[in-house]
Amino acid sequence: MAYAIAGGIAHDLNTILTAIYGYSELAQESAGDAAATEKYLERIIGAADRARSLTAQLIDLSRGALQPPQRVNVGEILADAVRFLRLSAGDNITIAEKITAPELHVDAVPAQLFRLFINIAANALNAMKERGGRLVITLEAVSDRNGSDGEAADTALVRFADNGRGMDRETTERLFEPFFSKSEEAGGTGLGMMVVSAIIHDLGGAVRVNSNAGTGTVVELLIPLSGFGTVDEKSYLRKTD
């Protein structure tokens, strides 16, 4: 398992390095525009900080150490991930954000939450890169308990909906298997969704995937809010199906 985790971190580092190279090229092209250059340099530094955090995780892994979770704002990290990924979206892909609950807090390691979001979004972008499309990312507060209307929210629901090539039933069922991938020709490693599964498990949450070949994919993440323990996935599915 340690090798798989290390491979997943290396996979994420490759995504980050792609962004660093991309923003570096933009900074070079905008050398005559001080404001634009400063913006791109800030994003390069931000990406480098993410890379440093991931390498720290590798070091902790080698020592058998774990970073403690902390109370973090889901919307802030989600917005950061979206800004990070816009560069790799391509001209034929649009990304839309709909954050209806900006003050939701969960107990997580910030770098892990960031990895969770970029892995799902990167898969969506890859599924749309040939013919283009639209990725809609939403954040809302829900309750996964069976109760009356108006019950206080205890869960953050993060939804990634794309209209890319989608997946057949077999692929969807095997999606979280380590090293399972049907996108090797596009640089896929089969590690992205394994990382998603591991992180969402650590968060006490749940993940739901609904996909159809040719029409797109919807990935929903249920993450318990701070102080609410774990998500009752079955309860949630009964109320939303």
Angle value at C-alpha 198, between 146 and 44, nearest 5 degrees: 115
Model confidence at 54: pLDDT above 90:
no
Name the nearest CA neighbour of 2 among 60, 53, 56: 60
Task: Tell me if 231 sits within 8 A of 164, measured CB to CB.
Answer: no
Q: Name which residue leads in pLDDT, 23 or 131.
A: 131
Q: According to DSSP H, which parts of 164-210 are helical?
A: 169-173, 192-202
What pLDDT is stored for residue 8 in this prediction?
Answer: 56
pLDDT category of residue 78 using cuts at 50, 70 and 90: very high
Lowest mean pLDDT among 97-106, 171-180, 211-220: 171-180
Name the nearest CA neighbour of 2 among 47, 48, 61: 61
Task: Tell me if 57 sits within 8 A of 40, measured CB to CB.
Answer: no
Model confidence at 181: pLDDT above 70:
no
For residue 130, the one-letter residue type is E
Q: Name which residue leads in pLDDT, 165 or 179.
A: 165
What are the start and end residues of each CATH 3.30.565.10 domain in the chain? 69-240
The H or E element that residue 224 is part of is strand 216-224
What pLDDT is stored for residue 36 in this prediction?
Answer: 78
pLDDT category of residue 11 using cuts at 50, 70 and 90: low
Model confidence at 70: pLDDT above 70:
yes
In the chain, the percentage of residues whose pLDDT exceeds 70 is 71
What are the start and end residues of each CATH 1.10.287.130 domain in the chain? 1-67
For residue 225, the one-letter residue type is L
Which fold does the domain 1-67 belong to in CATH? Helix Hairpins (1.10.287)
What pLDDT is stored for residue 74 in this prediction?
Answer: 96
In this prediction the pTM is: 0.70
What pLDDT is stored for residue 60 in this prediction?
Answer: 57
Distance, in Å, from the CA atom of 232 to the CA atom of 103, rounded to the nearest integer, reads 22
CATH class of 69-240: alpha beta
Model confidence at 168: pLDDT above 70:
yes
Model confidence at 156: pLDDT above 90:
yes
What pLDDT is stored for residue 138 in this prediction?
Answer: 96
pLDDT category of residue 12 using cuts at 50, 70 and 90: low
pLDDT category of residue 190 using cuts at 50, 70 and 90: very low
Task: Tell me if 55 sits within 8 A of 13, measured CB to CB.
Answer: yes
Distance, in Å, from the CA atom of 178 to the CA atom of 147, rounded to the nearest integer, reads 37
What is the mean pLDDT of the segment spanning 88-105? Answer: 88
Model confidence at 32: pLDDT above 80:
no
DSSP, collapsed to helix, strand or coil, labels residue 105 as: strand
What pLDDT is stored for residue 108 in this prediction?
Answer: 93
pLDDT category of residue 25 using cuts at 50, 70 and 90: confident
